[in-house]
Chain A
């Protein structure tokens, strides 16, 4: 499917926002401005953006501990995210969620999820709502290769097939679950085959190539929106950094890290759209410049922002208690 110039710009804008945001997170984490853990999405930008490109705010996604990219791909506010990640007032979750629990229900983002395999059952429920209310919307469960080994994910896939709900299981196979290679931990080797064995169509997509992901997702959406039940994508991508920011990665060779960096989705996108004369390099440069300013502003604002009011500690545990 040919995308319009505006759509291509939006895709690059989101991919570059993730890149700039995550590089800033890396920097601010090192500077001590981000409490706790940070798992960044660097190298996987084409996956999240390709999957979310045709989704609306009414379509839903459930994410993972590595969720910043999914948030941005789904349209979450970058400043609200930075405030949240730094644990500040005004963050998307009021500073109570943090990096691993960012959510923005108004954007159909049902939360990053720090439990590996936590989101797919929830995404099936969100898909059940769409089927029940006949909204025509879909629910996407992002998981990694690591989560593909969790029983909850098997249960979610089976339930989605049995209930025939519009759920799309997106397995971002970046080759590692924490510090253990998928080649070791994924018995049988193919996550797509697992999904197929539950009775849904599944395909493997090249996660370095935005267009490959977007096209595969288009087939998934068509299938789900036609009421045919769930669909699965195994998206092969590269994790530029370690499991978390600061992971020394002694378990990966220098050559492997170099190879990962060589499979960078952003230059590939630039090359494809400029060679096809769909966008000018100068237009992409202008997008980058604007985003760098936006991320700089988000970071500065978040650093300067006050922490949450202590009175918020006991608020919002219940709707009523």
Chain B
């Protein structure tokens, strides 16, 4: 099986599903690129190149460049979904959700419930997340807790290319609005990815590394970080299990609880400010449903309660880094 990048895996999923289902359209800023310009159209394929070649294959009726106009992009996607299409809208950086959040949480997320179950809103909003790009406070956030708390939305955080493809196909074949969060720092990471289509059901987490001493639950781009720390710890005889929930809504509580039942110890790794984070959410769930399994207090490794800083040394310290993850694990392991 060939290795493919996270970027290519997402592209594969979109391409094969667009071939299969003519109702799928893509819209957003520079999803093709070059409209109205003097040179070639379709040469951008979204700012991180995820949509490369799709315009060439599917043309301007299916890969639709829009103005920089997020409310209209998301609103148009919601209206198109409500009337029979399966739009894939792009919000280039998730930080931009502030200018279109109404269309997400008040409109698309609520149609089905408000309209008594008579509506379906099969749409995907793709957005890039995460710090580490030296992009400053307005291009570096993750915002997944904000989406996770909205009833009606499903929230997907792939941590590797294999999952990225299977989760995208699942999203494209479902009938609900999905927030699909792509980690900027993972675009070039590669794993083996089958050429054929496959689905990964939402709400089914993955044990990314088996272990018996402590459970690390990490989200999206924090999964590879947690795995790297687990390898370091293994040299000292600490055998950590790493759980990747893959989707935060629905959340696979059972896989997390089963792991904690086995290890009795839990550290959460979440690239998010600490308050109302997924870390806080999962900690509360485990304290409630898994209290008897715990041998030590739960610890969370999150970002501080600050905006994302620009200076590289500050940004590196802001993110849950290996040093902080390792320190949290050792503290939990020491607890008697």
Contacts from A to B (Cβ < 8 Å): 60, 62, 91-97, 101, 103-106, 110-111, 113, 115, 118, 120-130, 132-133, 139, 151-152, 155-156, 158-159, 162-163, 315-321
Task: List 30 A-B pairs, Cβ < 8 Å.
Answer: A93-B116, A94-B117, A96-B115, A97-B116, A101-B114, A103-B119, A105-B82, A105-B119, A111-B114, A118-B102, A118-B106, A121-B78, A122-B78, A123-B79, A125-B80, A125-B83, A126-B82, A126-B83, A127-B79, A128-B80, A132-B61, A132-B85, A133-B84, A151-B71, A152-B71, A155-B69, A159-B67, A159-B73, A162-B67, A317-B151
B118 at the interface (CB under 8 A from A): yes
Q: How far is the CB of A131 from chain B (nearest CB, A)?
A: 8
Q: Which one of A125, A155, A317 contacts B152 once the chains associate, using CB atoms below 8 Å? A: A317
Are A321 and B66 touching (Cβ within 8 A)?
no
With a cutoff of 8 Å between Cβ atoms, the chain A residues found around residue B209 in the complex are none
Task: Report B-chain residues with C-beta under 8 Å of the C-beta of A139.
Answer: 79, 83
Of all A-B residue pairs in the complex, the 10 with the closest CB atoms, nearest first, are A121-B75, A125-B79, A316-B117, A94-B116, A93-B116, A319-B175, A122-B79, A125-B76, A155-B72, A159-B72
Contact: B103 with A121, CB < 8 Å? yes
* Closest Cβ–Cβ distance, residue B78 to chain A (whole Å): 5
Listed in ascending order, the chain B residues whose CB lies under 8 Å from chain A are 25, 61, 64, 66-67, 69, 71-85, 87, 102-103, 106-107, 110-120, 122, 151-152, 154, 174-176, 203, 250
Q: Are B174 and A110 in contact (CB under 8 A)?
A: no
B72 touches A97 (CB 8 A): no
Which listed residue (A103, A115, A120, A321) contacts B115, Cβ 8 A?
A103
B114 vs chain A, min Cβ distance (A): 4
Residues of B within 8 A of A127 (CB): 79
Nearest CB of chain B from residue A47's CB, rounded to whole Å? 22
> A96-B116, A319-B120 known; A118 and B72 CB under 8 Å?
no
Given A118-B102, A317-B151: A101 and B115 interface contact (C-beta under 8 Å): yes
By the criterion CB–CB under 8 Å, are B82 and A319 in contact? no
Contact of A158 among B72, B74, B84, B122 (CB under 8 A): B72
Q: Which of A91, A156, A317 contacts B72 (CB 8 A)?
A: A156
Most chain A C-beta atoms within 10 Å of own C-beta, residue among B79, B111, B120, B151: B79
Q: Is the CB of A121 within 8 A of B79?
A: yes
| Contact B64–A163 (Cβ < 8 Å) | yes
Q: Which A residues lie within 8 Å of B64 (CB)?
A: 163
What is the bound-complex CA distance between A95 and B115, given in angstroms?
Answer: 9
Residues in A whose Cβ lies below 8 Å from that of B66: 159, 162-163
